[in-house]
Structures are given as structure tokens and as C-alpha cells.
Structure 1
């Protein structure tokens, strides 16, 4: 694929909205509140904010700079850094593709809950997963994602995110405003914002914070590197990256302000973890004022956030494969969408009547534990090491500008060290 045939974002605003859409996913709304609840509330915010601004933000800037400077997808960029490292670009694509395969299963759950909430049906998560309905919603989500990516950057991803990202923000603000009227609002706010400094000595807390920060901002996956390829030269990277980071963080905090007042008003367990969104909160929605409307809005927000992230993950592989094999975007999107459905089917089946398991553990949970838990450590390390140790620093200094004197040393030395520590904590504890 020739450079002049690669589409570009139509404007800086379009790029920022697409990048925010990539960053703002289920991780900001469901997973963030879940991890906060499991790690002592407000205390978790201290290491989380440190991880976001001191480490994840510099890696974001690096990815965007590499994508724009080298004008390449993930595989091309690795190859231009050093030819023999090109296969590592495919490793990054493979990890993101595998994560996408089970991420779409959860995306399908959110779609199912939108439909059931709109219809006024009360659905227990255990009842839902005792059928084969999750397969249907998983496939629908995958097909919708593939259709959007197949339309290209301007007509597909850009148009989609321009519509959904602002709408999702408005939806989230509305939900937060409603939650502020609930009796448990101030108790929820104290839980979210009051730190218990005694838990800061727990290495698992720090590991969870760093993992969530990188996962939430979509850094280390090559997504932003790919988006950087579509970015015009005149766009300044530092302020744009800061806007994306603050927007992502704002969504996460607002999600906590939506969820925890409901949790404390109705006596739910804030440390419920993953089941909070699909098992616990729906019970509260059934008895709260305007509960049906709240449920529809909440699950629509989850679905929109999940879809914008899923689209960005598929784009990593589509961009690399279409350029490497000189095949049209539509053909590659079709093949990869079919592939992600095939690869994700075991994960989807594990939360159906089939209860597909391996060694007593559901396939989706295994994928999340292995690929989700260790995949980001691998891909973030590969990106950080390759483009700071093997690429001429002068190229990136020019691309990043003044901030490069801080960004490059952090990504070169601190990010790989943090990834190694995170891996060590996971293996030891």
C-alpha cells in the first residue's frame, strides 16, 4: 500500500475523538469501578494517577510520534526500526487480536442488557448465560465492528466516534447527575475519594493500578501507533495526548460517581468485582426510581464504550495486514472479523449453557488471565524497547518537541522496569 493512499484524520478534533473512543472502553466504566472497589476505594486513585501521568502518558506520546514519524502500521514501524524485528509487530497484532476475541464477548453482554432493559425484562446473569443467547450478541457485536472498520478511517472509524463519543459523555453526565440525587451519594463519594493510606504498602494495589492505567488508556497495544500514522504533521502531540488522557480519566471518575452511589444506596458490595455490572447493579435498577431508563442508559453507555475500543483494536490488525499483503481494507476486515468470531467462540461458549472450560476454569477467564494479564506486559515492553533503544533518538526528539527530554527517558528506562515489576508481582503473588 503506497503512502499516498493511506487515509488521514480530517481534523485534530476527529483524531482526538477517535483516540478518546479507543481509550474509553469497558475498562473505564465497569473495570475501573470494579478495581477501585476491590482495592480500598480512594487509596487506589493515588497510584492510579501516578501511573497514568508519569508512565502511561509518555508511552502514549511515543506511540503517536512513532506512527506519524515512520508513517507505518505496527508491523511496518517495527520493520523500519530494524528489519529483523518486523515479526515482533505481528506478535503485537496477535496479542491485540486475541484480547479482542474475548473483549467482544463482554461487548455482546452489554448489548444484550441494552435490549432486555429497553424491553423491560429483568434478566439474571446466570439465566442469561444458561442459554446460547450470548453467542448471538457476540456475533452481532463482531459484525458491527467489522462493518465500521471496513468503511475506512473517515467514513467508518471517524464518523462512528464523532457520533458516539460526545453522546457517551452526555449520557455519562446525565447518569452522574441522577446518581447525585440518591441517598447513598455522599457515602459513595467518600468511598471513591477518601484514601486509606495504610493500603499503599500492598504491592498488589500498585500492580492493579499500573495494569488498569495502561489498559484504560489503550497504550502499549499499538493502537495509538496506528492512529498516529493517520495524523497530519501540524498536530502537536503533547497537548493532544494530554487532552486524551484527561478525557479518559474524567470518564473513569464519572463512572465511579455513577456506580458507587447506587452501590451504597442499595446496600451492594463495592468489592463485587466483575459481577458488579451484570449481576449486582441490575438488582438495584429494578427497585430504584426511573430504574428502567437508568438501566438502558447505563448499558448503552457500556456498549458504546466497548464498541469504540473494539473498533480500534481491529484496526491494528486490519492496517497491518492490508498493507503487508496489499489487500483491500474491506477484504481484510471481512476475513479478520470472521477470524475473531472463530477465535472468540470458545470464550463465548464458556458463558453459555455449554459452560466450556479447561481444567475447571472458563475459557474466557483463562484468556483474560493469560492474554489480558501478560499480553500487555509483552506488547508494551516490545514497543517501549524497540522505539527507544533501536530507533535514532533524533527522529523522535524532532517529532515530539520539547517534551522529548522527559518522554524518551521515561519510556526507555522506567516503562520496561515497571512492566518487569508488574510481571514479577503477578507471578509471585
Structure 2
């Protein structure tokens, strides 16, 4: 089995997995739809009390089992649950690659200076074309292996993501609407904290943003050396992830309030609202290139981590080469993702009036990931040998000692409540 060439390589890969569209497209969307600063308290609570402990759990399981998802669940006598998690991952990445394709398309258009309205983009067949191109690109990176493919790519992309964020922050923080954007993002509204749907949205966003709950970091942890200390690495990844989300929020809402746009525009905020603002602002064409380069890099770094999960799992199950399994997974993702891609294209596929992609995001991106995380917590916090799993935490901070308790008791209960409310909200 391949291993990371260094601890830094692992951390950058894990940050690349965590930092993705969830931090930019989905975070700004969910913040706007849930009242700005009102959403931050549930989100940060979910990240620290659920996301971070689950991240540590996944990494610990991967490091100690040296296995991909299906084999790791097999060691907890729940191999069938590993297949369910794998199914959820494949469903999520299939439509995640559609959005990655949007970023690819808008990057290409911004480079040529021909940014078009989102309605025109989705009224064509470009979304399907760029979805297929994004899937092939990310699949090719995964097929190249851990060090030559994933680690090499994320070592380049992750620093560039932060550089681009800082450049854009320095520009947007000086815009006249920046104070209003900051107030919108950081002013809490405690009256909404009794709304379970906001907590459910925050929990789903924490999973989506941190890449926890579906075996990505379990798979990455399997490539770690036994001497690596996981809690510190997980804390670094979590802090980096939160910083990217907040920085992206400051950038986006500063632009939104400067140009009188609608912060609650929804999923089209990044692809409809902001391109309009780029046309109005000084040096908007250059800023558009920087912005969509950032989003594309973030989307790609996460997408390759998602594709690695089924690639590693199926390689272990069938004993075939990485390249052949990566090619098979890419083909499967293209087939499954085509309806989602077509739902935002000239074909306009929908289910009961809801675009297929939106339906998949609700079913798999929120409910599915919560169910997947529940299975992870039950399998490894209850059924796996806890002395093997947590033995090396004895040298960690006393705060880390709470992680096994959170994973065993608080997190499964919180997930069950979230799943129940989200399913009830569908009817």
C-alpha cells in the first residue's frame, strides 16, 4: 500500500479534501438561505462537536486498520454498512462533479472574457460537457496514485487556494458594502436557534464542508504511518476549513452588498449573482478569473478525494490495479451523474418539478451523509476494539479525551434527530 511522502503532504491532501465547493458555493448559499449570522452558531457548533470528532475517528480508523471503507467496516463486523457508505459517496460525488463542471466552464468563460448568465449556460449542453471533462480530469489524477497523483496535485492546489483567497479579500474588504456584508455574516440572531431545520442544515454543511461521514478521511488515514499523531492534524484541517468558509463568505457578501444583490439568492448565487457584479466592478474581468480559479481549484481538490474512496475500496475488493478501478469508477460516476448534469442543461430533467441535482443534494448531501456518518459512529465507536482505536490518545490534550465519548453517545443521537427531522421535512 502506498503512503504519504510526509506529514505535510497528508495535511495538505486532507485540507484539499475538506476545502471544496462546500466552503464557497454551498456555504454562501446556506448562510444566505438561513439568515446570515444566525446560521454561524449552529454551523460552528456542528463543526467542533460533531465534525472534528468524526474527522479524528475516521483518521484513526484508517490508520489502525490500514484499510479502505468496505474492508474497514468488515473489521467491525458491518461490511454491509461499508457498501451503503460507498453508495452514498458515489451518489454525492456524481452530482458534486456536475458543480465542479460548472466551475470549470465558468473558469474557461472568464479566461476568454465571455461570462454568460447562468440561465444561458444551463440552457445549453455545456453543463453536460464540462461535467464529463471534470470527471475525466479528476479520475485521471486519482489513477496516478497517492504520491504522484493526489499528493502532488493538492500540494500545488491548496497553497494556491489560500493565495487567491487573500488576494480577493484584500480587494473586497475595501468595497463600500463590506461593512454590511460583515454585519450580515457575523451578527447572530439567537431567536432562530430553536429551529431544528437550521441545526440540520448546519450539520449537513459541516459534513459536506469537512468531508467527514463518508470515508474520505478514513481512506486517507489508511495511507498514514503508525507514528503520526492524528488529533493535531485534524485540528489543523478543521481550522483551515473554517477559515476558508469565513473568508469566502466575507468576499462574497462584501460584493453582494456593494452591488445591491440578493444574499438569499440560493444555489445560483455564485454562478448568477456574482458574475453580474463582476461586470460592474473595476477590473471585474480579472477578478472573475481569480474567483473561478479559486472555486475550480477547491472543487477539484475535494473531488479527487471523493473519487479515491470508491477507487481504493473496489481495488481492495476485486484485487485489480488502481488505474483500472479508477477508470471504472469514473465511468460509473459519469453514468450516474448524467441526470443531475442534464437537470441544469437544455434538457431540464426534473422529478416532480425539482431538478434532479437539487433532489440528489437533499437526499444524499444532507440525509445520506448524516446516515453514513451514523453508520461510521456506530461501527467504530461501538463495535470496533476501542483500546486499539484510541490507545494513542493518552498522550494528547485532555480535551481530546472527550472525542471517544462524543463519537459514542452525542454524535449518534444528534444524527438520528437530524435524519428524522430532515425526512419529516420532505413530507
Q: Give 1:359 deviation, angstroms.
A: 2.5
Match of 1:30 in 2: 25
Question: In structure 2, which of residues 398, 404, 416 is the aligned counterpart of residue 420 of structure 1?
Answer: 416
Q: Secondary structure at the match of 1:81?
A: coil
Q: Check whether the contact 1:69–1:399 (CA below 8 A) recurs between aligned residues.
A: no
Match of 2:2 in 1: 7
Are 1:339 and 2:332 counterparts? yes
Detail structure 1 runs of 4+ shifted over 3 Å in the superposition: 399-405
Q: Which moved more, 1:367-376 or 1:140-149?
A: 367-376
Q: Distance in 1 between matches of 2:338 and 2:53?
A: 36
Unaligned stretches of 5+ residues in structure 1: 1-5
Q: Which moved more, 1:187-196 or 1:252-261?
A: 187-196
Q: Which moved more, 1:403-412 or 1:146-155?
A: 403-412
Q: Distance in 2 between matches of 1:35 and 1:359?
A: 23
Question: In structure 1, which of residues 404, 411, 421 is the aligned counterpart of residue 407 of structure 2?
Answer: 411
Question: In structure 1, which of residues 125, 129, 142 is the aligned counterpart of residue 135 of structure 2?
Answer: 142
Question: In structure 2, which of residues 235, 244, 250 is the aligned counterpart of residue 251 of structure 1?
Answer: 244
Are 1:184 and 2:184 counterparts? no
Q: Give 1:357 deviation, angstroms.
A: 2.0
Match of 2:196 in 1: 203
Q: Give 1:12 deviation, angstroms.
A: 0.6
Q: What TM-score do you get using the length of structure 1 for normalisation? A: 0.96
Q: Structure 2 matches for 1:339-358, cutoff 5 A?
A: 339-358=332-351
Question: In structure 1, which of residues 213, 222, 227 is the aligned counterpart of residue 215 of structure 2?
Answer: 222
Q: Distance in 2 between matches of 1:127 and 1:45?
A: 33
Q: Give 1:427 deviation, angstroms.
A: 2.5
Match of 1:309 in 2: 302
Q: Give 1:177 deviation, angstroms.
A: 0.8
Match of 1:3 in 2: none
Q: What TM-score do you get using the length of structure 2 for normalisation? A: 0.97
Q: Which moved more, 1:86-95 or 1:64-73?
A: 86-95
Q: Which moved more, 1:152-161 or 1:292-301?
A: 292-301
Q: Give 1:198 deviation, angstroms.
A: 1.9
Q: Check whether the contact 2:201–2:366 (CA below 8 A) recurs between aligned residues.
A: no
Q: Distance in 2 between matches of 1:35 and 1:361?
A: 18
Are 1:170 and 2:166 counterparts? no
Q: Structure 2 matches for 1:280-299, cutoff 5 A?
A: 280-299=273-292
Q: Give 1:290 deviation, angstroms.
A: 0.8
Unaligned stretches of 5+ residues in structure 2: none
- Please tell me the root mean square deviation across aligned C-alpha atoms, in Å: 1.2
Q: Distance in 1 between matches of 2:365 and 2:196?
A: 19
Q: Check whether the contact 2:204–2:365 (CA below 8 A) recurs between aligned residues.
A: no
